Chains A and B, each alone.
Chain A
């Protein structure tokens, strides 16, 4: 993976990432219904899961290469099946 630049993701980036991780990595499925606010930990955990799948640096951060992969055209079937 190219050396990812650590950036401070925009709000739009974060929204897109949450939508991506929810659709392809079941982000909200693993969060108890009583707590609908997505915790930083579960977001970080899902980012790590996605980075591991795509062979990126597993940082748990929304760095440039992670966002770049998230924006690639792709299949709509989730990458993991919960």
Chain B
């Protein structure tokens, strides 16, 4: 890695940014999200916090521009130079400019805005170019996959040589909303699934992981492992034999295989056979004995045949009628040792798949020994 001459850095840990304008290539919310995620990549490994402002001068001003655009570094049209940014400092210092002549995107078409933003924000924070091709600070574009991207050790060494590591407490993906304590009696989960030898519990931008048989737990931010995955995952299930975990949010779903986000995702849930009136999935669970997946939506559920890759006929059916004691609506569900564990608010119901009935009523946070 390298830094700028004189090692300019921001002398404070809370840095503001402002998105001055937008590229017509992407939806505004996709630009906002790509930039937010790009900042989160750096805040996850430093004590820095980034706060967005919508008016006035921010430390880091972000804009899209064509050709000559007011600094002494005109852009050169499509390809060639994609973007540039200035080292920390007043005025234009820290600012990041993106060449509007490129075709910006949130996927691998054209130029991925998230990847280029992570690189330029590295400059905005004081990093120079690295000759390590695996580093995000490598000057040429096209060597990294946005789906599997994570900072290289060279990047982390570089930025931590300027700002140090994150403060001792766990990373807080959203400083305005403190991380919920896992033993809070009112805690409910967004989604739960097994993942190899662990169980993972999603909540907002974080997830807890736990070994079922030991008390060892941990917490991590979704973005630190999977920067392009949104927070607020709503449903998740694992097909252990295939080492696949499917994650759902709104009308999209992603596939993790060996902990890596797979290319060509997200996909639409309608490709699974849901009718258009289904907007999101509350919970999903794979039954390895039947090789079927159950999807729970409001007070109804569907059943998907994983072998034939299609929804079974005769669905949806009502949850309360076919899962006695469960529902009418659920938050999350996962399968473990011949039981489904249904989560409804702060309550968890152990449901024996052979006996077809609830056999235990627990608190949602029961797995954490609260």
Chain A residues near B (Cβ < 8 Å): 24, 53-55, 69, 72-79, 81
Contacts and interface: CB of A to CB of B under 8 A. Distances in A.
Given A54-B131, A81-B128, A76 B73 contact: yes
A49 to B, nearest CB: 11
B131 A75 contact: no
Contacts of A75: 81-84, 116, 119-120, 123, 129, 139-141
Nearest to B6: A81
B82 A81 contact: no
In this complex, the interface size class of chain B, counting residues with CB under 8 Å from chain A, is 20 to 34
A76 B129 contact: no
Interface of B: 2, 4-5, 73, 75, 79-85, 102, 111, 116, 119-120, 123, 128-129, 131, 133, 139-142
Contacts of A54: 131, 140
A55 B132 CA distance: 9
Contacts of A53: 129, 131
Contact of A74 (B73, B82, B85, B123): B82
Query: Is the contact region of chain A dominated by helix, strand, or loop, or is it mixed?
Result: loop
Given A53-B131, A54-B131, A55-B131, A77 B142 contact: no
Contact of A81 (B5, B79, B141, B142): B5
A77 B4 CA distance: 10
6 contacts: A54-B131, A72-B140, A73-B142, A75-B82, A76-B82, A76-B84
In the complex, the 7 A-B pairs of residues with the closest C-beta atoms, listed nearest first: A76-B84, A76-B81, A81-B5, A73-B141, A72-B140, A74-B140, A79-B129
A77 B140 contact: no
B300 to A, nearest CB: 48
B139 A74 contact: yes
A60 to B, nearest CB: 18
Contacts of A24: 139
Contacts of B75: 76
Contacts of A79: 128-129, 139
A29 to B, nearest CB: 13
A73 B76 CA distance: 11
Given A75-B119, A75-B120, A77-B85, A69 B140 contact: yes
A73 B131 contact: no
Contacts of A69: 140
In the complex, which of the residues B73, B75, B81, B142 has the most CB atoms of chain A within 10 Å of its own CB atom?
B81
A77 B79 contact: no
A47 to B, nearest CB: 16
Nearest to B81: A76
Contacts of B139: 24, 74-75, 77, 79
In the complex, which of the residues A72, A73, A81 has the most CB atoms of chain B within 10 Å of its own CB atom?
A73
Given A54-B131, A55-B131, A73 B5 contact: no
Nearest to B123: A77
A29 B52 CA distance: 38
Contacts of A77: 84-85, 123, 128-129, 139
A72 B84 CA distance: 15
B51 to A, nearest CB: 25
B230 to A, nearest CB: 27
Nearest to A82: B5
A81 B4 CA distance: 7
A55 B116 CA distance: 22
A72 B140 CA distance: 6
B250 to A, nearest CB: 32
B233 to A, nearest CB: 33
In the complex, which of the residues A72, A73, A75, A81 has the most CB atoms of chain B within 10 Å of its own CB atom?
A75
